[in-house]
Structure 1
């Protein structure tokens, strides 16, 4: 699940409006809307703040955020999967 989808789910479950969250993030509502739609990526600090505001698991949201970041980088790369496998081997050796 992408971060924007999860944020929207959490927000709607709590009956909050986009403008309420965007005000707390100190961004405009259209920008927050783009984050929810996956058209713009949230900053790490925003994800941490959103976890607090939405009373959500910070590690879950940061994990989804990081997956989105990784996918954005390797999206059109032919060797993307190979690169991920290589990175995993490197991480496991640390």
Structure 2
């Protein structure tokens, strides 16, 4: 979801077609389209390759990818935000 929106923006800015990036990632166009729409998760390796192909900031794309991964895990958990806050607090107290 987070990553998909950003890679779509980058792709459109560079006037690339989905099928071009899909071919470079060695996946079919419908699968790439699902990644952009947030219906399918990209693999970490794909995110790194997209950063190169789109001449984008690798850390930005990986952060968005990871945020999506975390969101998928906690979105249906009542205590999901509590767990995130705990992690943030534990990182700042070290």
Question: With structure 2 as the length reference, what TM-score do the two structures score?
Answer: 0.95
Query: Which segments of 5 or more consecutive residues in structure 2 lack a partner in the other structure?
Result: none
User: What is residue 22 of structure 1 aligned with on the other side?
Assistant: 22
Work out the number of aligned pairs and report it.
94
RMSD: 1.1
**Structure 1 unaligned residues grouped into runs of 5+:** none
1:1-94 to structure 2, matched below 5 A, reads 2-94=2-94
Mapped partners of 2:36, 2:5: distance in 1: 6
Residue 33 (structure 1) shift: 0.2
Partner Cα distance (2:67, 2:47) in 1: 13
CA drift of 1:93 comes to 3.7
Could you tell me how far 1:92 is from its partner in structure 2? 2.5
Once residues 44 and 93 of structure 1 are traced to their aligned partners in structure 2, the CA distance between those partners, rounded to angstroms, is 29
Query: Per-residue CA shift, 1:55-85, capped at 9, x if unaligned?
Result: 0000000011110011000001000110001
